[in-house]
């Protein structure tokens, strides 16, 4: 397949277009990684994922003293594949296998959810890396398969073991048709909030909108509210 549907190159982030890391030609497959701390990126705008990726690179370069960010790619909660070191580069991600596997960080912490768009992004990345130019094996492993570590966390590792990441892409990650990450609905000030499930489309009907001065919009008869917050809305 061509490059992933939502693909951000390093140059789009203002980084040098090619990583200064040593050349390599990984063939064994793809290693899944996580962050040891929860990041809550699924409930924040995609710009937070970009900020996270920039901060990881800054830490790896300026604190660890590495040539570049340690990972090959990021597959974020919003379904984007973001370039790290990219293809044909040795990594600093899984000691002993930095030149035999490509690495993919989910930027998830131990209890952060893994979204359907994120799974699709990993599948698209895997399929793209299996193309003739890079021609990796279709194997997907967790960091803990290669080293004594908790990475990539129990949630992601269960998906690795069940071969969820190693399936072909479903085509459910169309560019420009992003799924809302979270929306909250309140029927009245004293009613409990009702969450819309991530990864599912929901239709909300509104009459003439009014505002009570707070961060919501509601109808005059039935105060169902669409609350503004750190999420992606589509309407």
Query: For position 173, what pLDDT does the model report?
Result: 63
- Residues 202-222 have pLDDT tens digits of 555 444 343 334 334 444 444
Angle at alpha carbon of residue 28, lines to 25 and 33, rounded to 5° = 95
Claim: this prediction has a pTM higher than 0.75: no
Cα–Cα–Cα angle for 129, 130, 135, nearest 5°? 95
Q: Which of 56-65, 166-175, 213-222 has the least mean pLDDT?
A: 213-222
The whole-number pLDDT of residue 202 equals 58
Domain at 7-162, CATH homologous superfamily? Peptidoglycan recognition protein-like (3.40.80.10)
Joined together, the tokens standing for residue 145 give 């398969």
Q: In this structure, are residues 42 and 116 in contact, taking their beta carbons and an 8 Å threshold?
A: no
Among residues 60, 46, 59, the alpha carbon closest in space to that of 178 is found at 46
Query: Does residue 141 surpass a pLDDT of 50?
Result: yes
Q: Is the pLDDT of residue 45 over 80?
A: yes
221 token code pair: 């008869």
Q: How far is Cα 33 from Cα 71, in angstroms, rounded to an integer?
A: 9
Task: Quote the CA–CA distance of 31 and 29 in Å, as a whole number.
Answer: 7
What are the domain boundaries of the chain?
7-162
- Give the per-residue pLDDT at 196: 60
């Amino acid at each position: 397949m061509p490059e992933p549907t939502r693909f951000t190159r390093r140059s789009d982030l203002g980084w040098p277009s090619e990583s200064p890391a040593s050349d390599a030609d990984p063939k064994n497959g793809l290693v899944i990684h996580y962050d040891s701390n929860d990041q809550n990126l699924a409930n924040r705008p995609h710009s937070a994922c970009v900020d996270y990726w920039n901060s990881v690179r800054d830490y790896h370069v300026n604190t660890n003293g590495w040539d570049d960010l340690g990972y090959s790619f990021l597959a974020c909660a919003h379904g984007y594949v973001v370039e790290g070191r990219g293809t044909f580069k040795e990594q600093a991600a899984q000691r002993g296998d930095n030149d035999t596997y490509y690495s993919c960080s989910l930027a998830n912490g131990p209890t952060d959810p893994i979204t359907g768009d994120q799974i699709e992004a990993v599948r698209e990345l895997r399929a793209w890396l299996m193309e003739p130019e890079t021609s990796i094996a279709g194997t997907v492993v967790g960091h803990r398969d290669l080293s004594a570590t908790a990475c990539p966390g129990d949630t992601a590792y269960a998906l690795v073991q069940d071969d969820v990441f190693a399936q072909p892409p479903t085509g459910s990650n169309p560019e420009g048709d992003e799924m809302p990450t979270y929306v909250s609905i309140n029927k009245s000030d004293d009613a409990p909030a009702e969450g819309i499930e991530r990864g599912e489309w929901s239709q909300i009907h509104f009459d003439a909108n009014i505002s009570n001065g707070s961060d919501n919009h509601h109808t005059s008869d039935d105060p169902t509210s669409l609350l503004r917050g750190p999420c992606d809305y589509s309407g």
